[in-house]
């Protein structure tokens, strides 16, 4: 891994070529991943309503011309989809986004982002039915429709920000190099981050526009579309609000050379220009429509060249409680690479860049087409593999004193010394414990829920200790004949 820090416009920009191992070692607390669902049709997102810790909702991008939302409830993938919608079938099209209203527990509203049969983007509101595991398929209300001139670069992410408004990152309309320069055009919705208020309606006579524009959006009252919050995006593929700070992380897919992760602090008042199409990351593209030297352009906090990566899969800032060393760590990947990386960002500098691939090796299945990440209501992280699997990041169950049920030793008349370490369960089958006989360490294999040492021929007094895990049990003194 070769890394450089470039400082531009007061922001530290990290340029990394993803061609080797990361420089940071793994942290002391280990973790891995566990497959929680398989046999899915192109899973591209995981989320859950606030406070709902028994379920996760998985987006299936499409199977044929049908996109679905599936539920894993208490560890089981339910057979009946929560919702099915008809979608277009281009490679980047389908059902792409899902967000639950902040008051979902009371109003049952949730929002989806999909490309309909003619390829245009639709953001729509649905309502849950009387069965909490089934949506009312007839409850659709269009929030907005966005014309898509090409089949690619549809964005698709949806999320409610800490301010309660719905954020809708959009791609630049597709093709290559943004031929219409839409990302810089403040009179187009494409290539932007939009911010709308779904609790209001500024367009009561238009059934295809059911939202209000927050009065604090940067183009309200001046030239430009009132829906726009930020501009200069190419194809924002997976974003995340930090659940603690409210900071916004944006994975923006590059053109031919460079991938980037952009950042908007929670204190932002909007109006950022992230540079596309005159810049790809910090690289000047030479394309017209804006100036590469414009000091107001916001550079990414992290970027990397193509090879082997080619399409960033933006991730999440971990805020779960299962792995205490990780909160505040941002995870991401690349669809063309099978590795997963993480770093921390303090608002000025990227630190602790780490290759997490080996740590996240799953218990079963493979992670090699990372399409997206997601979080459950407890802030735990999930990884979506486009091949049909979803994995959850979980702590490794490290053998410690809580796992030791009994430690005993005795010596038979024949001089056979037997030491038994009994565990609470068989969860550490195949691992090792270490005992010491008169200070000499001996490793014992765990078989099922116990490890046994049995040897002859001992005589006289001996002190037996449990060394690893240590500090769990007092020493045992035995006397052999």
Q: Report pLDDT digits (tens) over 396-435.
A: 877 889 899 999 999 988 899 999 999 998 888 888 999 9
Residues of the chain with pLDDT under 50: 1-13, 19-23, 25-27
Q: Which two tokens stand for residue 430?
A: 């195949």
Q: Which two tokens stand for residue 396?
A: 């490794």
Separation CA 224–CA 219 (nearest Å): 5
Q: What is the sign, positive or negative, of the torsion defined by CA atoms of 231, 232, 238, 239?
A: negative
Q: Does residue 56 contact residue 77 with C-beta atoms inside 8 Å?
A: no
Which residues, including other chains, have CB under 8 Å from residue 221's CB and lie 6 or more apart?
Answer: none
Domain 2-395 identical in fold to domain 401-480: no
User: Looking at residue 16, what is its pLDDT?
Assistant: 52
Three-point CA angle 169, 279, 305, nearest 5°: 90
Q: Whose structure tokens read 């929002």?
A: 111
User: Looking at residue 53, what is its pLDDT?
Assistant: 95
Separation CA 330–CA 353 (nearest Å): 9
Torsion from C-alpha of 375, 378, 380, 383, nearest 10 degrees: -30
Separation CA 55–CA 320 (nearest Å): 16
Q: Does residue 169 contact residue 155 with C-beta atoms inside 8 Å?
A: yes
Q: What is the pTM of this model?
A: 0.84
User: Looking at residue 19, what is its pLDDT?
Assistant: 41
Separation CA 113–CA 248 (nearest Å): 19
Separation CA 362–CA 45 (nearest Å): 18
Hey, where are the domains in the chain? 2-395, 401-480
The secondary structure of the chain, three-state, reads CEEEEEEECCEEEEEEECCCCCCCCCCCCCEEEEEEECCCCCEEEEECCCCCCCEEEEEEEEECCEEEEEEEECCEECCCCCEEEECCCCCCCCEEEEEECCCHHHHCEEEEEEECCCCCEEEEEEEECCCCCCEEEEEEEEEEEECCCCCCCCCCCCEECCCCCEEEECCCCCCCCCCCCHHHCCCCCCCEEEEEECCCCCCCCCCCCCCECCCCCCCCCCCCCCCEEEECCCCEEEEEECCCCCCEEEEECCCCCEEEEEEECCCCCCCCECCCCCEECCEECCCCCCCCCCCCECCCCEEEECCCCCCEEEEEECCCCCCCCCCCCEEEEECCCCCEEEEEECCCCEEEEEECCCCCCECCCCCCCEEEEEECCCCCEEEEECCCEEEEEEECCCCCHHHEEEEEEEECCCCCEEEEEEECCCCCCCCEEEEEECCEEEEEECECCEEEEEECCCCEEEEEEEEECCCCCCCEEEEEC
Q: Does residue 312 contact residue 290 with C-beta atoms inside 8 Å?
A: no
Separation CA 310–CA 30 (nearest Å): 29
- What CATH number was assigned to the domain covering residues 401-480? 2.60.40.10
At CB < 8 A and 24+ separation, what contacts does 284-287 make? 285/177, 285/255, 287/177, 287/178, 287/181
Separation CA 150–CA 455 (nearest Å): 75
CATH superfamily of 2-395: TolB, C-terminal domain (2.120.10.30)
429 C-beta neighbours (distance < 10 Å), count? 13
């Amino acid at each position: 891994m070769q890394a450089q820090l470039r400082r531009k416009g007061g922001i530290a920009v990290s340029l990394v070529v993803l061609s080797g191992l990361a420089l940071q070692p793994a942290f002391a607390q280990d973790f891995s991943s566990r497959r929680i669902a398989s046999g899915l049709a192109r899973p591209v997102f995981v989320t859950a309503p606030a406070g709902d810790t028994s379920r996760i909702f998985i987006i299936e991008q499409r199977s044929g011309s049908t996109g679905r939302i599936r539920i894993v409830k208490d560890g089981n993938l339910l057979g009946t989809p929560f919702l099915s919608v008809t979608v277009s079938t281009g490679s980047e099209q389908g059902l792409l986004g899902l967000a639950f209203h902040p008051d979902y527990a009371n109003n049952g509203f949730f929002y989806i982002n999909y490309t309909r049969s003619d390829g245009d983007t639709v953001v729509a509101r649905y309502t849950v039915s009387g069965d909490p595991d089934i949506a009312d398929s007839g409850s659709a209300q269009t929030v907005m429709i966005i014309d898509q001139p090409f089949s690619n670069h549809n964005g698709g992410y949806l999320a409610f920000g800490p301010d309660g408004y719905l954020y809708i990152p959009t791609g630049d309309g597709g093709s290559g190099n943004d031929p219409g320069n839409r990302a810089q055009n403040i009179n187009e919705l494409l290539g932007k981050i939009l911010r709308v208020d779904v609790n209001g309606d500024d367009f009561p006579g238009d059934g295809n526009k059911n939202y209000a524009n927050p009065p604090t959006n940067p183009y309200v009252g001046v030239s430009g579309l009132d829906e726009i919050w930020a501009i200069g995006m190419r194809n924002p593929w997976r974003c995340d609000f930090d659940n603690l700070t409210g900071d916004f992380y944006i994975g923006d897919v590059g053109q031919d050379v460079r991938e980037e992760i952009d950042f908007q602090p929670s204190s932002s008042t909007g109006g950022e220009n992230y540079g596309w199409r005159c810049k790809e990351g910090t690289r000047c593209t030479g394309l017209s429509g804006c100036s590469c030297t414009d000091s107001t352009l916001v550079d990414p906090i992290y970027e990397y060249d193509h090879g082997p990566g080619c399409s960033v899969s933006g991730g999440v800032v971990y805020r779960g409680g299962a792995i205490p060393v990780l909160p505040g760590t941002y995870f991401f990947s690349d669809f063309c690479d099978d590795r997963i990386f993480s770093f921390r960002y303090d608002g000025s500098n990227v630190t602790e860049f780490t290759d997490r691939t080996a740590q996240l090796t799953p218990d079963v299945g493979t992670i090699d087409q990372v399409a997206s990440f997601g979080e459950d209501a407890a802030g735990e992280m999930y990884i979506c593999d486009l091949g049909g699997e979803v994995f959850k990041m979980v702590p490794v169950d490290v053998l410690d004193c809580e796992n030791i049920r009994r430690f005993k030793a005795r010596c038979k008349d024949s001089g056979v010394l037997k030491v038994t370490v009994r565990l609470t369960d068989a969860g550490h089958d195949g691992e090792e414990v270490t005992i010491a006989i008169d200070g000499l360490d001996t490793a014992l294999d765990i078989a099922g829920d116990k490890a046994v040492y049995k040897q002859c021929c001992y005589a006289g007094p001996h002190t037996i200790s449990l060394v690893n895990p240590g500090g769990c049990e007092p020493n045992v003194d035995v006397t052999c004949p």
